[in-house]
Chains A and B, each alone.
Chain A
Amino acid sequence: MTETIVLRVSNLSKSYGGVQAVNAVSFSLASGELLALIGPNGAGKTTCFNLLNGQIAADSGSTEFEGRSLIGLKPRQIWRLGVGRTFQITATFASMTVRENVQTALLNFHGRLNSLVSLAERLYVDEAIELLARVGIAEQAARPCAVLAYGDLKRVELAIALANRPRLLLMDEPTAGMAPRERAALMRLTAELARASAIAVLFTEHDMDVVFAHADRVIVLNRGCIIAEGKPAEVRANREVQQVYLGSGSLFGAEHA
């Protein structure tokens, strides 16, 4: 595993009507590393995430992916650079089978999306199946996405996100809406994939079990500012973090359990 920096964020800021949603956030992410972005509700996690993936424009600051600035790029341009995404609420193509979902992403990755003559279903079949096998749902390849269980949909999303052989994965609440056992399994899978393919993963997460079990590093946001950063154990020990999370119980639940 190399220690190359994939993503470098400096002084990223965004305000809405005077409220500083994200305030001078800086961090970096190395390939193969799983970085969790946590914080209480309204801390600016989602804003920060959407700034990174191009859905909203930053007021100031810079984000660099492999040395290239992402500022001003649209989500689809960021994807083209090698960034994959999953959503808090799964977004897949309901009228397609699981395999076709992945194939569609592969078609675009291979620059074949504007072809009018070839049959899409025949293209990149093996590659799609291989991706589905990697996330463990190859046997569901022919099922329409509309009938899949939620946990499986999350895996489909992951497979789609891997189609452009990303060096960076942005995962917004990857385990939201899943049963606890499934959560662990999905994050274990993600961690394996990240390490095996040297993918940097940035994810937001509510479930602290997931965070402390799988993240290599944790950043804690509060009111738009980073209040702590470090290994899970360090962050857990941080007093300010404990104060922020005081009363929620979730942060320390794992420790006492």
Chain B
Amino acid sequence: MQYAPSRLGRGNALPGTPQQKSIEPHLSLSAFLVQLLNGLASASSLFLVAAGLSIIFGVTRIVNFAHGSLYMLGTYIAYSLVKVFGGGMLGFWGGVLCAGIAVGLFGALVERLLLRRLYHAPELLQLLATFALVLIIRDFALWTWGAEDLLGPRAPGLGGAIDIAGRQFPEYDLLLIALGPLVLGLLWLLLTRTRWGTLVRAATEDREMAGALGVNQAWLFTSVFALGSFLAGLGGAIQIPREPAVLTMDLTILSDVFVVVVVGGMGSIPGAFLAAVIIGVLKAMCIGIGIGNVSALGIDFSFSKLTLVVEFIVMAVVLVIRPWGLLGRQQSIPRGAASVEPPLYLPPPALLKGLAAALLMLALLPLFSDRYTLVLLTDILVFALFAVSLHFIMGPAGMHSFGHAAYFGLGAYAAALLFKHAVPMEAALLLAPLVGGLGALVFGWFCVRLSGVYLAMLTLAFAQIAWSVVYQWDAFTGGSNGLVGIWPANWLASKTAFYYLALALCAGGVILLWRIVFSPFGYALRAGRDSPLRADAIGIDVRRQQWLGFALAGVLAGLAGAVHAFSKGSISPDTLSIPRSVDGLVMVLMGGIQTLTGAVAGAALFTWLQDSIARQTEFWRALLGGIILFLVLAFPQGIAGFIRERWDARKDAE
């Protein structure tokens, strides 16, 4: 039997554009109603997890990356407990509840043993610690429960479905729909009717004031972390009848939960509920509509594809209109009072000599190193520029970005697409950064209107929107497969030649950015960060400076992306995905956000660790997490920050 794939010959036809006329885009009222219920059922679990994250953030200001991991642990533990207890009424619900409690206790432990040591560290360092936990918990789950997906039993007595509007609707989903408002109500009672709740609210609104009220802060933080973790664990546990425990569910839920918390307004529990419902229902509606005809474009479009990105579109829209989320309040002090930035001095001659010597060594390295060293160093150079460009906006400009990979990826794709459309490699390399900069100019215009975590989440939203476009636009970007065959021109084909190119461009870019930090423009950025009020009063248009700084960082990130594309010969949507953005954050924080050289040190260390550890052990992820934890605890000021401190101490002793 032979089939001639006429359409396959032209690449993959877009499955969303079938010729059939029989597709029914209309959503009948009854279908709409049931999809509404579907959305509400999904929203409940999302709300539980999001409420936990929101409470934790509200009180401790920790951006808890490990929250998804706690959710995952909840699912796995519940699966195991229900298996041990048996699937009876008591066994099932006992197992679910115990799983939540176990995760709550684990969260309390994490807070006491780890995070407590980091409250006085530079801001966002807790984020790095929780990122390390993600790595460790993932490998712990793999080690404990194995790689196979684990589907739990149906809930006893609720395994069936009832008839709603002529459709079979799962009984368990009805329970979930009720659970969301129930938990919301209980939390409301807890927060408004108990002394503990009053303290939590006080701390959420004004951390310093709560301290002044004589609140036992240590105990409050631990209990808040325990409650938040319990909610995450419970949110995971109640999923066992609906979905299997899988090792990727930690990150899958994490981005959704962050979106819910931010859309609702960080620290606002009713806001989280509202946002969870909006997003849950919107997703169900996209699916319910199925294929619709977008008459403006004259094409059929499968709305179900929108589920890839719809929550991020919602977040972007909400943040642009309401910069503190739907029910959030303006953060009283966007930057923690504890985080006064240290002064930044021009590098002393000794350091400049050191940097020059390092550059010279890098330039001479090809004479006596093997080819792979050059390949690894090329990667390190690329990521160093990427990390320094991120540090430029996070450090001196004081804008946290969780979506910096967008500009890296835009640069990479621009380089690749220009090259594919017959632009010479050299020209593509030079034009691509401008595309990164243009992207940053557009996204940045909205981002600089926000501050703090909201700004960071808006950068994330834009990055995800850019990612989903690249991921979906098969005809232009190669879709999920990406683009291949992006190799450098002949004169740069050798690893040595390309290494020199990367060295020239990346080191050049890094030096340029460092230099700009000490230029009047850099001073204006720091002025806007240190005191927007004063900056405004001396005539500085803070937003405009931040905007331009954002765009400038985008240009340099784009340059890094373009060099990256040609060094690999291929690119895929991974180049602008969340993990790439997180890598950048980790590099900056590992090196030390308060030192200029920190980003370079962090990029070098992180890339080198990833490369070397992955070879050493099967559980390299946990090992990497362990190393990061060690670094966080030993050097909260970062590697470069630590070296600087030691240097200062020696100088003082002399």
- Chain B positions within 8 Å of A, measured between CB atoms, are 340-344, 346, 515-516, 518-524, 526-527, 529-531, 533-541, 545, 548
A121 in contact with B526 (CB, 8 Å): no
A100 in contact with B523 (CB, 8 Å): yes
A105 in contact with B538 (CB, 8 Å): yes
16 other A-B residue contacts (CB within 8 Å) besides A113-B524, A119-B518, A163-B538? A77-B539, A91-B531, A91-B533, A92-B530, A93-B534, A95-B340, A96-B344, A96-B523, A96-B527, A104-B523, A105-B539, A108-B539, A113-B521, A116-B519, A121-B518, A144-B343
Q: Given A76-B540, A104-B527, A94 and B520 touching (CB < 8 A)? A: no
A96 in contact with B538 (CB, 8 Å): no
A-B interface, 10 closest residue pairs, ranked by CB to CB distance from nearest: A91-B534, A93-B530, A144-B343, A95-B341, A79-B539, A105-B538, A120-B523, A91-B531, A76-B539, A107-B520
8 Å CB interface, A92-117 against B: 92-97, 100, 103-105, 107-109, 112-117
Which residue of the partner chain B has the closest CB to A54?
B536
Q: Does A175 contact B (CB under 8 A)?
A: no
B344 in contact with A95 (CB, 8 Å): yes
CB neighbours of B343 from chain A (8 A): 95-97, 144, 146
CB neighbours of A119 from chain B (8 A): 346, 518-519
Q: Does A14 contact B (CB under 8 A)?
A: no
B523 in contact with A164 (CB, 8 Å): no
0/1 interface trace, chain A 41-79, chain B, CB 8 Å (1 if under) = 000000000000100000000000000000000111101
Question: CB within 8 A of A79: which of B527, B529, B538, B545?
Answer: B538
CB neighbours of A107 from chain B (8 A): 520, 523-524
B527 in contact with A115 (CB, 8 Å): no
CA distance A163 to B539 in the complex (A): 11
Question: CB within 8 A of B531: which of A74, A94, A112?
Answer: A94
CB neighbours of A92 from chain B (8 A): 530-531, 534
**Residue of B515, B524, B548 with highest tally of chain A CB at under 10 A:** B524
Rounded to whole Å, the gap between the CB of B345 and the closest CB of chain A is 8
Rounded to whole Å, the gap between the CB of B643 and the closest CB of chain A is 19
A115 in contact with B519 (CB, 8 Å): yes
CA distance A74 to B527 in the complex (A): 18
B531 in contact with A123 (CB, 8 Å): no
A116 in contact with B516 (CB, 8 Å): yes
CA distance A119 to B346 in the complex (A): 9
B519 in contact with A95 (CB, 8 Å): no
CB neighbours of A243 from chain B (8 A): none
Q: Does A118 contact B (CB under 8 A)?
A: yes
B534 in contact with A108 (CB, 8 Å): no
Give the interface SS of chain B, mostly helix, strand, loop or mixed: helix
Rounded to whole Å, the gap between the CB of A55 and the closest CB of chain B is 9
Give 17 pairs: A residue, B residue, CB < 8 Å, sorted on A.
A79-B537, A87-B533, A93-B526, A93-B527, A95-B530, A105-B538, A108-B538, A113-B520, A113-B523, A113-B524, A114-B520, A115-B519, A116-B515, A116-B521, A120-B518, A120-B523, A164-B538
Q: Does A80 contact B (CB under 8 A)?
A: yes
B340 in contact with A146 (CB, 8 Å): yes
B519 in contact with A93 (CB, 8 Å): no
CA distance A215 to B433 in the complex (A): 58
Inter-chain contact total with CB atoms closer than 8 Å: 114
CA distance A112 to B541 in the complex (A): 14
Rounded to whole Å, the gap between the CB of A196 and the closest CB of chain B is 22
Q: Does A85 contact B (CB under 8 A)?
A: yes
Q: Does A158 contact B (CB under 8 A)?
A: no
B519 in contact with A118 (CB, 8 Å): yes
CB neighbours of B522 from chain A (8 A): 120
B523 in contact with A75 (CB, 8 Å): no
CA distance A235 to B548 in the complex (A): 51
Rounded to whole Å, the gap between the CB of B433 and the closest CB of chain A is 15
A108 in contact with B540 (CB, 8 Å): yes
Q: Does A160 contact B (CB under 8 A)?
A: yes
Question: CB within 8 A of B541: which of A76, A109, A160, A163?
Answer: A76
Which residue of the partner chain B has the closest CB to A123?
B520
0/1 interface trace, chain A 19-59, chain B, CB 8 Å (1 if under) = 00000000000000000000000000000000001000000
**Residue of A85, A104, A112, A118 with highest tally of chain B CB at under 10 A:** A104
Which residue of the partner chain B has the closest CB to A100?
B523
CA distance A93 to B541 in the complex (A): 15
CA distance A68 to B537 in the complex (A): 19
Rounded to whole Å, the gap between the CB of B358 and the closest CB of chain A is 22
Rounded to whole Å, the gap between the CB of A2 and the closest CB of chain B is 26
Total chain A interface residues with beta-carbon distance under 8 A = 41
Rounded to whole Å, the gap between the CB of A121 and the closest CB of chain B is 6
CB neighbours of A157 from chain B (8 A): 534
CB neighbours of B536 from chain A (8 A): 74-76
Q: Given A94-B340, A94-B341, A117 and B519 touching (CB < 8 A)? A: yes
B537 in contact with A93 (CB, 8 Å): no
B539 in contact with A103 (CB, 8 Å): no
CB neighbours of A93 from chain B (8 A): 526-527, 530-531, 534-535
Rounded to whole Å, the gap between the CB of A100 and the closest CB of chain B is 7
Rounded to whole Å, the gap between the CB of B303 and the closest CB of chain A is 44
CB neighbours of A94 from chain B (8 A): 340-341, 530-531
CA distance A166 to B539 in the complex (A): 12
B539 in contact with A109 (CB, 8 Å): yes
Rounded to whole Å, the gap between the CB of A145 and the closest CB of chain B is 8
CB neighbours of A120 from chain B (8 A): 518-520, 522-523
CA distance A96 to B344 in the complex (A): 7
CA distance A104 to B344 in the complex (A): 14
CB neighbours of A114 from chain B (8 A): 520-521, 524, 548
Which residue of the partner chain A has the closest CB to B533?
A91
Which residue of the partner chain B has the closest CB to A157?
B534
CA distance A76 to B28 in the complex (A): 56
CB neighbours of B540 from chain A (8 A): 76, 104, 108, 113
CA distance A103 to B522 in the complex (A): 13
CB neighbours of A87 from chain B (8 A): 533-534, 537
CB neighbours of B537 from chain A (8 A): 53, 75-76, 79, 85, 87, 91, 161
Rounded to whole Å, the gap between the CB of B546 and the closest CB of chain A is 13
Rounded to whole Å, the gap between the CB of B286 and the closest CB of chain A is 42
B534 in contact with A160 (CB, 8 Å): yes
CA distance A120 to B517 in the complex (A): 9
CA distance A256 to B526 in the complex (A): 49
A160 in contact with B538 (CB, 8 Å): yes
**Residue of B341, B344, B346, B519 with highest tally of chain A CB at under 10 A:** B519
Which residue of the partner chain B has the closest CB to A163?
B538
0/1 interface trace, chain A 155-177, chain B, CB 8 Å (1 if under) = 00100110110000000000000
Which residue of the partner chain A has the closest CB to B512?
A116
A96 in contact with B346 (CB, 8 Å): no
Question: CB within 8 A of A96: which of B516, B530, B539, B545?
Answer: B530
CB neighbours of A123 from chain B (8 A): 520
A164 in contact with B539 (CB, 8 Å): yes
CA distance A157 to B537 in the complex (A): 11
A95 in contact with B342 (CB, 8 Å): yes
CA distance A97 to B534 in the complex (A): 15
CB neighbours of A118 from chain B (8 A): 519-520
Which residue of the partner chain A has the closest CB to B517?
A120
CA distance A75 to B88 in the complex (A): 69
CA distance A120 to B519 in the complex (A): 5
CA distance A77 to B541 in the complex (A): 9
CA distance A76 to B541 in the complex (A): 7
CA distance A160 to B535 in the complex (A): 10
Rounded to whole Å, the gap between the CB of A68 and the closest CB of chain B is 16
CA distance A93 to B523 in the complex (A): 10
Rounded to whole Å, the gap between the CB of A134 and the closest CB of chain B is 17
Rounded to whole Å, the gap between the CB of B558 and the closest CB of chain A is 17
CA distance A118 to B524 in the complex (A): 13
CA distance A65 to B218 in the complex (A): 54
Rounded to whole Å, the gap between the CB of A69 and the closest CB of chain B is 18
CB neighbours of B523 from chain A (8 A): 96, 100, 103-104, 107, 113, 120
Rounded to whole Å, the gap between the CB of A36 and the closest CB of chain B is 21
CB neighbours of A160 from chain B (8 A): 534, 538
CA distance A121 to B516 in the complex (A): 12
